[in-house]
Amino acid sequence: MNDLHAEMGYATALELKDRYDRRELSPVETVSAILQRIEALDPAINAFSVVMRDDALAAAKDSERRLRDGEARPLEGVPVTIKDAFDVAGYETATCSHALKGAVAAGDNVVVARLREAGAVILGKTTMSELAWSGISRNPVTGVTHNPWKRGFNAGASSAGAGAAAAAGFGPLHLGSDGAGSIRMPSHFCGVFGLKPTYGRVPYAPVSNNDYATYIGPMTRTVSDAALMLEVMAGPHPLDHTSCEAGPDAYRAKLRASMKGKRIAFSPDLGHARVDDEIAEIVESALKVFAGELQAEVENVTPSWGPLGPELGRFFWKVLWGRRAGLLPEWESRMGSDLVACIRAGADYSATDFINMRERKFAYVAQISTFLEDRDYLVTPVASVAAFPVERVRPEHWPEHDWDWLEWSEFLYPFNMSSHPAASVPCGMTRAGLPVGLQIVGRRFDDLGVLQAAAAFEAARPWRQLRPAIANAS
């Protein structure tokens, strides 16, 4: 390991593209250096379920030829990682579960195909919580994924490996998904940027059986890289009948925008959530950036719909996992005990229960949409806590529970249900040196607006220079 490996690993996609264009660097050099960095550092982090070394080097060589021949594509030679939940041709899609191991993908997921067709070089598949069920970075197949800022601590989930890989300098672009916060939560815990786009902005195929609450999005260290990645991934696809008709906007070219006069609603607790004091202080300090130097109009709010969320969130999460009860007779002994507890808690609801609660959910979503029509953004904490020991479901100073990690992530799932775009932006560090994120929520279809607000905050309070100690390990 040397400084060159760290330089390559922490370079942004835009920096790599620029250096490729100026012939200062080649994709083979970049990919080789990052693979060496992964080989040296990932044993201490465990961000990858599989590293695709040979395939990555072959793709890098092809990118090198295309650059030489003037055939470069938008992401030519830029490294990317893929969450274990998504098909990559020739590799298992086990979602870090023993129950699904052995299922080798015949082809690429539609978004993976778009990234590959844009010239991105796939480094490997990243770890996740078992079946993408929880906010804890461990599973029975690959074990614990460690937070790069503190080994033994939660990196967030389900896109745990993506968040840890971004923080550790394992390349610039990382593909995550978000069913109840699984892009934003690991971004918060790991100190990187993550965007959950508007529902349908990025096609999800096959369509998730999660009542239209699951999204695909970018996880990066800069807003501009996320914008670049979204341009490639977004747009309708015939395999996702719920995908938006509109193609991608020129997100990256339009990132710079004034926040002067923008109407920002700030809710520190959504009217019900418990939040650790230090998290609350850091988030409130970040709001002063918008109200001060960015000249936005910030109002403190307690939305009437906020306290309605917990009952809805718990119901749909239990029902979602209760449908997996058929796995228990064969696989229970090889599944996480917290997942098993959640499955049992949700196994006995009826179709009538579901339909009646769904009616309440639609009314809740309408209230959120109406609230946001009068504001440009809603800003909240991402989560109520900083990273904590990964063997726990909740931090030690919180009441114990056998499965309910939603207790400390009340700010996330409402916007999975409501379809609104939402991002996690690094906004500070705890006294213990752990990252904290700020959530920015926009109106439906205003993905560009969310990216612009995040970019404005990033410019005012840069964070990419902050690196965990693991980044400099040798």
| Active site members | 83, 158, 182
What is the Cα–Cα distance from 158 to 83, expressed in whole angstroms? Answer: 9
- Max alpha carbon distance in the chain (Å)? 63
How far apart are alpha carbons 55 and 109 in whole angstroms?
Answer: 17
The answer to whether the beta carbons of residues 171 and 79 sit under 8 Å apart is yes
Tokens read off for 53: 């070394």
Please name which of 66, 86, 70, 8 lies closest in space to residue 41, comparing C-alpha atoms. 8
**CA-to-CA dists, residue 170 to 45, 109, 233, 369, angstroms:** 11, 22, 20, 37
Q: Is the dihedral of CA 216, 221, 223, 227 positive or negative?
A: negative
What span, in angstroms and rounded, lies between the C-alpha atoms of 440 and 411?
11
Could you give the 3-state DSSP secondary structure of residue 204? coil
- Could you give the angle at the alpha carbon of 327 between the alpha carbons of 321 and 332, nearest 5°? 95
Pair of tokens at residue 325: 């009860």
Q: What is the 3-state secondary structure (H, E, C) of 331-400?
A: HHHHCCHHHHHHHHHHCCCCHHHHHHHHHHHHHHHHHHHHHHHCCCEEEEECCCCCCCECCCCCCCCCCC
Contacts of 11 (CB under 8 A, 6+ apart): 19, 30, 172
Nearest to 195 by CA among 203, 187, 206: 187
Whether the CB-CB separation of 316 and 211 falls below 8 Å is answered with: yes
Q: How many Cβ atoms are within 10 Å of 212's Cβ, its own excluded?
A: 15
Neighbour tally for 258: CB within 10 Å: 11
Cα–Cα distance measured from residue 150 to residue 154, given in angstroms and rounded to the nearest whole number: 9
